[in-house]
A and B are shown apart, each in its own frame.
Chain A
Amino acid sequence: MTLTKALPSKTSLWILIPSLLAAALCITPLVYLIIRVSGADSDIWEWLIRTRTLMVFARSILLAISVTLLSLIIAVPITWFTTRTNMPYRKLWSVLTFLPLVIPSYVGAYIVLSFVGKGGLLYDILNPLLGVDGIPTMYGFYGSLLTLSFLSYPYIILTIRSNISSVDVSGEETAMLMGLNKFQTFIKVTIPSIKSAIYSGSLLVALYTLSDFGAVSLLRYKTFTWSIFNQYEAGFDRNTAALLSLALFVLATLFMAFETFLRGNKKYYKNSSAASRRLPIIDIGVWKWPAAGFCALVSLISVVIPLLVLLYWLVRGLYFGEDATTLTAESNHILAFNSITLSTLTAVLVVVLALPVAYLSVRRPGALTNIIEKMCFTGYALPSIAVSLSLVFFGAKIGPPLYQSLLLLVIACAVLYMPTGLGAIRSSITQISPRYEESSMTLGKSKIKSAILTNLPLMKSGMIMAAATVFLITMKELPAVLLLAPLDFHTLTTAIWSFTSEAFFARAAIPSILLIFLSSIPLTMIVLKNNIFNSFGSE
Chain B
Amino acid sequence: MLNSILQCADLDISFGNHQVLNNLQMDLYPGEILSILGPSGCGKTTLLRIIAGLETPSRGTIYLKNQKIFGRSTNLEASKRNIGMIFQDYALFPHLSVEKNILFGISHLNHKIQVENLERVQKLTRLGGLLKRYPHELSGGQQQRVAIARTLATSPNILLMDEPFSNLDASLRLAVRMEIEGILRESNTATIFVTHDREEAFSIADRVAVMTSGSIKQIGRPDQIYFWPNSKETALMSGSCNFVDGIISGDHVKTSIGILPLRITKEYSDNEKVQVAIRHTDLSMEPTPSGENTVIKKDFRGDETIFWVETAEKELIQCKHKIHTTLFPGLKVNLSPVQYTKFNVFSVEDK
Contact = CB atoms under 8 A, between A and B. Distances in A.
Interface of A: 9, 433, 435-436, 438-447, 450, 453-454, 457-458
B95 A435 contact: no
Interface stretch (B78-86, B126-134, B275-283): B78-86
B5 to A, nearest CB: 17
Interface in B105-136: 105, 108
Contact of B104 (A438, A440, A458): A440
A446 B78 CA distance: 8
Interface majority SS (helix, strand, loop, mixed), chain A: helix
Contacts of B85: 438-439, 442
A458 B84 CA distance: 23
Contacts of B83: 442
Contacts of A438: 49, 52, 54, 78, 85, 87, 91
Contacts of A442: 52-54, 78-79, 81, 83-85, 151
A442 B86 CA distance: 9
B105 A436 contact: no
Cβ-closest 10 pairs across A and B? A443-B105, A435-B91, A441-B78, A442-B85, A439-B91, A457-B95, A435-B87, A441-B79, A444-B79, A446-B79
Interface of B: 49, 52-54, 56, 77-85, 87, 89, 91, 93-95, 104-105, 108, 150-151, 154
B94 A458 contact: yes
A446 B107 CA distance: 13
20 contacts: A436-B91, A436-B93, A438-B85, A438-B87, A439-B150, A440-B105, A441-B53, A441-B78, A441-B79, A442-B52, A442-B53, A442-B54, A442-B78, A443-B150, A444-B80, A444-B108, A445-B79, A445-B105, A453-B104, A457-B95
A458 B104 CA distance: 16
Nearest to B88: A435
Contact of A433 (B52, B56, B89): B89
A445 B89 CA distance: 20
A444 B77 CA distance: 9
Contacts of A435: 87, 89, 91
Nearest to A432: B94
A443 B82 CA distance: 7
The listed residue with most B CB atoms (<10 A of its CB), out of A9, A439, A442, A443, is A442
Nearest to A436: B91
A444 B85 CA distance: 11
B77 A447 contact: yes
A290 B29 CA distance: 77
Contacts of A443: 79, 84, 104-105, 150-151, 154
A458 B92 CA distance: 12
Nearest to B80: A444
A444 B53 CA distance: 11
Nearest to B105: A443
Contacts of A436: 91, 93
Given A441-B54, A443-B151, A443-B154, A433 B79 contact: no
A442 B83 CA distance: 6
A9 B80 CA distance: 18
A9 B53 CA distance: 13
A434 to B, nearest CB: 9
A260 B328 CA distance: 61
Contact of B79 (A9, A447, A454, A458): A447
